[in-house]
Amino acid sequence: MNLMNKPLYDVVVVGGGAIGAATSYYLAKSGQSVLLIDRFNPPHPHGSSHGQSRLLRVAYAEGDKYVAMVRRAVKLWKDLEQESGETLFEQTGVLYAGSKKSAFMESVVNSAQSQEIPLLVIDQKQAPIAGLYAMPNDWLTLFEPEGGFLHTERCVAEMLRLAMARGAERLTNTQVLDIQSSGTGIAIETSNGPVTAKSVVICAGPWVGDLVPALKSKVSYQRKVMHWYADDKEQFGNGGHFKPFVVHDEDSNSWFYGVPDIDGSGVKIGDHNYENAVQHPDQIDRTISPQDTDKVDGLVKSFLPGMGKRIKSETCLYTSTANTDFILDRLPDFDRAFVASGFSGHGFKFAPTIGEIMSNMVLGHQSDFDLTSFALAAHS
Ligand SMILES: Cc1cc2nc3c(=O)[nH]c(=O)nc-3n(C[C@H](O)[C@H](O)[C@H](O)COP(=O)(O)OP(=O)(O)OC[C@H]3O[C@@H](n4cnc5c(N)ncnc54)[C@H](O)[C@@H]3O)c2cc1C
């Protein structure tokens, strides 16, 4: 693409991970001329939107304000499935387990009660799940039928494809170097030359600090590791009785989650916390050490004793705010620059809702959601 000959775009979207792909799609659907720029060729394994699967929970321990957003996302994922002809969301349900005094479990129960979300108490020792999980006997085990998991790379690829089908253009392996206000709107300097647009939406994942220095003090980055374990006994496959799960072990204060074996590549397991901060995403150590594997191996041995050996592990990145709420706002020093960031390890499920919110923000339309806690000013 020869950028020098290109016209003024309505909107440039920086970043084609889950959030940028969704934002491009909803902007293109609204009739905007869109150019999406990514420094890699998404979907790719360098940022935050890779690793085969992402959980979708509805009873939301992180706050009830997210429930309407996740329900909107379920509707939009289903619409995207219809348009693409691909399965993106598997509504398998999600299992939650933790001790009765676990604050996480209490938040899940409270959210379900206040938001009228079905949540069933189940007995892990009874059919059909007997023998799959081995939580302590006095733990609470709950099942949420509305939840499930998303096919990560397929979701990104399909949102990008559908955005292009609606006229968006895509410039890959191109880094955005600088963004400035200009007479016509926004002047964007890239590694392939300059581009101009009326508006820009920055969805740069863990590289957001490079483009928006003001966010450097509001977000931190964490190195995460996802692991896959062999399903030797063929009891942990998708479509069977083993369900995606979240476990909160209060004694070790650890959360871990899993998704059934989808395609023979293993059961995905990860632990969730905000440890292992990195200064910059380009400095992340991608080699896997025993420090990355020992704790999760131990959790798997305790809670899922029928699981086979760990077969592979892969790194990924969180971009987190102090209170784990997202940042969705216009940038104060620009009239027409917007940012979607700080997804804090729980943003993927919301991607189409965020895409719709950012598209409405650019178009000046009122959002259906109260965005107060997602404003820059809400993050110190
Ligand atoms: C291990 C792990 C498990 C998770 N589990 C869940 C889960 O179960 N459920 C859930 O909902 N969420 C989960 N999340 C969170 C979710 O995956 C992220 O919130 C989401 O993927 C963030 O997407 P993004 O588009 O903001 O970032 P990214 O996917 O990182 O995309 C940013 C893009 O911007 C591009 N870019 C950056 N800078 C530039 C530049 N200067 N020029 C051009 N391009 C640029 C990058 O190349 C990249 O493609 C998890 C995250 C991790 C790491």
The domain boundary residue, chosen from 299, 320, 341: 320
Answer for the pair 242, 235: CB distance below 8 angstroms, yes or no.
Answer: yes
Tell which one of 23, 44, 54 to mutate to probe ligand 1, the residue whose CB is within 8 A of the most ligand atoms.
54
Element (H, E) at 293: helix 290-303
Same domain, 371 and 242: no
Domain membership of residue 256 (yes or no) is: yes
Q: Which residue has the tokens 């131990």?
A: 298
Domain membership of residue 75 (yes or no) is: no
Q: What is the SS3 assignment for 59?
A: coil
Tell which one of 346, 350, 354 to mutate to probe ligand 1, the residue whose CB is within 8 A of the most ligand atoms.
346
* pLDDT profile of the chain (380 residues), mean per 10: 72 98 98 98 98 98 95 98 98 95 94 96 89 92 97 98 98 98 91 96 98 95 98 95 94 90 97 95 96 94 95 98 98 93 98 98 97 96
pLDDT at 380: 83
pLDDT at 79: 98
340 vs 138: CA distance, rounded Å: 41
The domain boundary residue, chosen from 282, 297, 320: 320
Same domain, 112 and 245: yes
Element (H, E) at 14: strand 9-14
Domain membership of residue 68 (yes or no) is: no
Please give the C-alpha separations between residue 245 and each of 240, 256, 285, 372, in angstroms, as whole numbers: 14, 8, 28, 31
Burial class (CB in 10 A: 0-12, 13-18, 19+), 322: middle
Same domain, 269 and 309: yes
Across the strands, what pairs with 330? 338
Across the strands, what pairs with 9? 197
152, amino acid identity: T
Structural domains counted in the chain: 2
Q: Which residues are near ligand 1 (CB < 6 Å)?
A: 14-20, 37-40, 42, 47-49, 51, 54-55, 175-176, 203-207, 210-211, 224, 226, 270, 316-318, 343, 345-349
Domain membership of residue 87 (yes or no) is: no
Answer for the pair 43, 50: CB distance below 8 angstroms, yes or no.
Answer: yes
pLDDT at 253: 79
The pTM assigned to this predicted structure is: 0.97
Domain membership of residue 72 (yes or no) is: no
CATH of the domain at 336: 3.50.50.60
190 vs 267: CA distance, rounded Å: 40
Domain membership of residue 116 (yes or no) is: yes
The length of the chain in residues reads: 380
pLDDT at 127: 81
Across the strands, what pairs with 229? 267, 310
Same domain, 130 and 231: yes
Pick the closest to residue 176 from 201, 143, 151, 148 (CA basis).
201
Residue 116 CB partners (closer than 8 Å, separation 6+): none
Domain membership of residue 372 (yes or no) is: yes
Same domain, 255 and 141: yes
Same domain, 119 and 233: yes
pLDDT at 309: 97
How many other C-beta atoms lie within 10 A of the C-beta of residue 317?
22
Pick the closest to residue 73 from 305, 369, 354 (CA basis).
354
CATH of the domain at 312: 3.30.9.10
Same domain, 349 and 368: yes
> Ligand 1 centroid vs 308 CA: distance in angstroms?
29
Strand ranges for 33-135 from DSSP E: 34-37, 53-56, 89-90, 94-98, 120-121
Answer for the pair 70, 60: CB distance below 8 angstroms, yes or no.
Answer: yes
Same domain, 182 and 287: no
Pick the closest to residue 200 from 307, 71, 330 (CA basis).
330
Answer for the pair 56, 73: CB distance below 8 angstroms, yes or no.
Answer: yes
> Ligand 1 centroid vs 288 CA: distance in angstroms?
20
pLDDT at 81: 98
Answer for the pair 198, 10: CB distance below 8 angstroms, yes or no.
Answer: yes
Give yes or no for a cis peptide into 352 (omega within 30° of 0): no
Same domain, 256 and 303: yes
Same domain, 190 and 260: no
Q: What is the SS3 assignment for 261?
A: strand
Same domain, 16 and 164: yes
59 vs 377: CA distance, rounded Å: 27
Same domain, 241 and 115: yes
Q: Which domain holds residue 126?
A: 94-145+220-320
Pick the closest to residue 251 from 310, 297, 299, 290 (CA basis).
299
Domain membership of residue 65 (yes or no) is: no
> Ligand 1 centroid vs 223 CA: distance in angstroms?
12
The domain boundary residue, chosen from 320, 337, 360: 320
